[in-house]
Amino acid sequence: MELSAIDNKKQMSNSEIIKKYKQGERNFSGIRCVGRWFDGQDLTEIDLSGSDLSFSNFSNSTLIGSNFTGCNLTWSDLSRANLKGTIFKNSNLSWSAIIESIIDTKTDFSGADLSYIVAFNTNINSAKIDGIKMVSAVLRITDIGSNPNFALKQLERADIPDSLKQMIRKQVIEINELANRIKGLLPRSYKDEVRTMPARVDSETTEIGSTYAGKSAYDEMSAYVSRDAYKRKTSYG
């Protein structure tokens, strides 16, 4: 996969981008803004194509019709974001979280690298996914492993400040613990059934490594536990 080079990019802070966006500017293509927080921001139709936005937080943000073509979004958080019509063509989103995000048929992941993403409660398959790479993605609660050591080892190799590593490490551990608490509420019969499900492989999709049922975590468990008990035991949803 070809991604835009990240060298010699214009350095911008999140506060600069947000300020200029509110002043009416939309084109921020080809910048470098690593490890910054955009959570809760409305960045509808912003153009960040070709930018290095790795280790950044876009959780709970509105990114309708935004352009992230050719971006480096590794280890970023897009959870609970509105991604209707958002373009991620040929971007690298590996190791990112896209949990409970809103995606529609105009959302475009064509040619993107979604390896090792955590995306339960997000229907990735409703978007355009031609030619994506998706190795060992966590698309269901039951896909997640018993511990996050592999992810944490990969994080340690990243060339970012220790303070940022510590924040992301905490998030990885919290997601893992949460998912395993939810898994712990499922009966053995359900877990066994999930393990026997075949991996989903679409004709235009390569290297799919997970199953996906298109259901929320609660939907998976609704036959076994009430919603109140589910929320009380997991603090989720």
Percent of the chain exceeding pLDDT 90 equals 42
Give the long-range contacts of residues 176-181, CB within 8 A, separation 24 or more: 176/144, 176/145, 176/147, 176/148, 176/151, 178/234, 178/235, 178/236, 179/120, 179/138, 179/141, 179/144, 180/144, 180/146, 181/233, 181/234, 181/236
Backbone φ/ψ region at 80: left (φ over 0), alpha (ψ -120 to 50), beta:
left
The Cα–Cα gap between 39 and 54 comes to 14
* pLDDT, position 145: 63
* pLDDT, position 137: 79
Tell me the Cα Rg of the chain.
18
> pLDDT-derived band of residue 168, with 50, 70 and 90 as boundaries?
confident
> pLDDT-derived band of residue 127, with 50, 70 and 90 as boundaries?
very high
User: Coil, helix or strand for 52?
Assistant: strand
Averaged pLDDT, 159-181 = 74
**Which residue would you say has higher pLDDT here, 230 or 49?**
49
**Which residue would you say has higher pLDDT here, 194 or 75?**
75
Position 226 pLDDT exceeds 80: no
Looking up tokens 């989103």 gives 93
* pLDDT, position 146: 59
The Cα–Cα gap between 177 and 55 comes to 21
What residues does 174 pair with on adjacent strands? none
Averaged pLDDT, 154-160 = 74
**Which residue would you say has higher pLDDT here, 77 or 146?**
77
CB 46 within 8 A of CB 19: no
Position 85 pLDDT exceeds 80: yes
Position 120 pLDDT exceeds 80: no
The Cα–Cα gap between 45 and 195 comes to 40
> pLDDT-derived band of residue 157, with 50, 70 and 90 as boundaries?
confident
* pLDDT, position 200: 32
Looking up tokens 């949803």 gives 237
Position 154 pLDDT exceeds 90: no
Lowest mean pLDDT among 71-85, 116-130, 149-163, 173-187: 173-187
Domains of the chain: 1-237 (2.160.20.80)
For the segment 15-74, what is each residue's pLDDT rounded down to a tens digit?
Answer: 999 999 999 999 999 999 998 999 999 999 999 999 999 999 999 999 999 999 999 999
> pLDDT-derived band of residue 122, with 50, 70 and 90 as boundaries?
confident
